[in-house]
Structure 1
Amino acid sequence: MYPWIVFIHSVSAMVSIGPFFVLIPMLRKLQTAEGELKSSYLDSFHFVVRLSKHAGHVLVFSGLLLMWLGRWPWTTPYIAGTFVVLFASLFFMARAFSPTIRKLRQPENDHPALLRKLRRSLYLYLFVLFVMLWLMMMKPLLW
């Protein structure tokens, strides 16, 4: 059972990180997109954020199962560090993407500034995801 949960945990990590890379070239196209095309790009952004959120739920649940079955204590440095980064990223993700995407759908807002904010949020969130991935893969002794 444990190897299957490790597999599910790994796949959910890939699904929660991978789709964000599709958004990088889409950001460039969003700068000049109009009408239906712009709406389609924003729908894609929204879908990736939701997919990542739900894959993150599977990731956390499977991680907790692995901790329980493997008898890993909460005080293990890389586990505690990952949860600290995870909770910080939850607040970040809730405020970074969906409100900006909603504002981009409205014609009266400053689109170049919102696209810069969306780009910055995307790169920052990818960095946070990679920090969590690094903690889980490298298992550093933080204390």
Structure 2
Amino acid sequence: MYSWLVFIHAVSAMVSIGPFFVLIPMLRKLKTADGDLLHSYLDSFRFVVRLSKHAGHVLVASGLLLMWRGSWPWTTPWIFGTFVVLFASLLFMARAFSPTIRKLREPEHDRQALLRKLSRSLYLYLFVLFVMLWLMIMKPMLW
């Protein structure tokens, strides 16, 4: 059972991170898109955020089960560090994408400023995801 949990955990990590890379080239296309095309790109952004969120639920649940089945204590440095980064990323994700996407749907918006914010949020969130991935794979002894 433990090996299946590791597999589920790894797949959910891939599904949480991978779709965000599709959004990188889409950012350039958002600069000139109008009408239905703009809404299609924004729908894609919203879908990726939701997919990542739900894959993250599976990721956390499988991680907790792995901790329980593998007898990993909460005080293990890389586990504690991952949960600190995880909670910070949850707060960040809640404020980073959805409000900006909603503002881009409004008729009167400063597209360039909102796209800069969306781009910065995307790259920052990818960085945070990679920090968590690094903690999970490298398992550093932080203290």
Q: TM-score, normalised by structure 1?
A: 1.00
Question: 1:67: which partner in 2?
Answer: 67
SS at match of 1:109: coil
* Distance in 2 separating the partners of 1:57 and 1:119: 24
Question: 1:33: which partner in 2?
Answer: 33
Question: 1:137: which partner in 2?
Answer: 137
SS at match of 1:114: helix
Unaligned 5+ runs, structure 2:
none
* Distance in 2 separating the partners of 1:142 and 1:113: 38
Q: Is 106-115 or 16-25 further displaced after alignment?
A: 106-115
Q: TM-score, normalised by structure 2?
A: 1.00
Question: 1:102: which partner in 2?
Answer: 102
SS at match of 1:142: coil
* Distance in 1 separating the partners of 2:101 and 2:61: 28
Unaligned 5+ runs, structure 1:
none
Which portions of structure 1, spanning 4 or more consecutive aligned residues, are displaced by more than 2 angstroms?
Answer: none
SS at match of 2:22: helix
TM-superposed deviation, 1:123: 0.1
Percent identity, aligned pairs only, is 85
The alignment covers a number of residue pairs equal to: 143
* Distance in 2 separating the partners of 1:4 and 1:60: 15
TM-superposed deviation, 1:107: 1.5
TM-superposed deviation, 1:127: 0.1
TM-superposed deviation, 1:109: 1.2
Aligned amino acid, residue 97 of structure 2: F
